[in-house]
Amino acid sequence: MSSPTVSVSENEVADSVGYSAYFDVVYILGASLFYGLSLPVFALSINVLRHRARNSKPVRFLLILTYLTLLSVTGQFISNVGETLTGLSWSQSPSDSISYVDRMAEASLKAQPYGIASLVFQVLNFFAGDAIVVWRASILWNNSRIVRYLLCLLLTGSAAASIYDVTNFSIILTGNKGASGNGFLKGDAASMFVSLTVNLAATSIKNTMSRDKVNKNVPFRILLSLVECGLFYCAAQIANGILTVDGDAPSVFGRAIVGQFTEFFAGTYSALVISIIASQRSILESSSVVDGSNREPLAQDVEKGVPPKQSTMQFAPRPNVLSGMSDQIQLSGEHDDRIGSFASSGSSYPEDRSHK
């Protein structure tokens, strides 16, 4: 009578082992796919920024942020693969040593450092995405200190939630407190939703400031504006946050894939936004961060003929209608100045000869 029970128990263990192995293999394939898709975006961002003036503060900031995000995404990929492969090490243990369940528990214990590192890189990716949208929104609305202080406060809250998330997860994981799993989910979800709040605030500012500048008849510009303001990133965060909070999700496997996609998408999104910002010349030129000053040309400067402080930023030569018009205006101004100086010198020349 006991043999059917043993047979059912062995079948359940076999099903658990097979599902775990299948899940780990697909998880590695998903991580490889998402990481591979992110590399061209980072290459594009770095290539665009390298054609800008490296001595400019905004370009250096964006370039450093791109490199750090690429490092974070790479660390995310290595940590995920290392955690999964270490978790699969139970299959290499002798079958007569300990049971499958004990071997899987031992392998999970060895994979804990990779899990903590993976979460650290995940929150770094989230914070990079928050930082770029806050920087972008603060440039668009640089005349209001209240808006900038609010964005900085939200960014600080995002950093605090991320630190709490990592600390809480590390304590739960190292303490082997299985009953505190919901605490980790709540901390993880809190970090996501605080980050979502940051992106929604920056998105609202971006939409308000650039609503009149985008030609609604050009779908590509509308798409760039939506990507730049973080709308798609907010949608991914909402899906991941809901699946994280909802413990009765229809598929644990699907929830893990969505979570992994959001982790890599967070870093890739910041590089994509950087590429869009760097490719639009007017954005960096109109930024007060370019020349390090919020100073506008004063009335007395205009009366005295003192030119306003110009940006020292140099760009790669490319056809641009707006830049061509500005160059023509500048050349015509210089030409008028030369004519005026020549006329003044010509009018004073006979007087000089008469004195002689």
140-154, 238-252, 337-351: the lowest-pLDDT one: 337-351
Element holding 138 (H helix, E strand):
helix 112-140
Q: CB-based contacts of 87: which residues, under 8 Å, 6+ apart?
A: 20, 24, 104, 107, 108, 111
pLDDT for res 4: 47
Whole-model pTM above 0.75? no
Alpha carbons 327 and 305: distance in angstroms, whole number: 19
pLDDT in tens, 293-343: 443 343 334 344 444 444 443 434 444 433 444 444 444 444 444 444 444
Average pLDDT in the chain: 64
Neighbouring-strand partners of residue 52: 315
Percent with pLDDT over 90 in the chain:
0
In this predicted structure, the answer to whether residue 29 has a pLDDT above a threshold of 50 is yes
pLDDT tens track for 190-226:
666 666 666 666 666 655 555 555 454 455 555 556 5
> Residue 350: left if φ>0, alpha if ψ -120 to 50, beta else—which one?
alpha
d(CA 70, CA 271): 8
Position with higher pLDDT, 94 vs 117: 117
Residue 236, CA atoms < 13 Å, CB-side half-sphere: 22
Question: Span 172-182, mean pLDDT?
Answer: 54
> Hey, which residues does 315 pair with through a beta bridge?
52
Those residues whose C-beta lies under 8 Å from the C-beta of residue 239, and which sit 6 or more positions away, are 258, 262
Sorted by where each starts, the structural domains of the chain and their CATH numbers stand as: 2-285 (1.20.1070)
Stated length of the chain: 356
Report how far residue 229's alpha carbon sits from residue 201's, in angstroms, rounded to the nearest whole number.
10
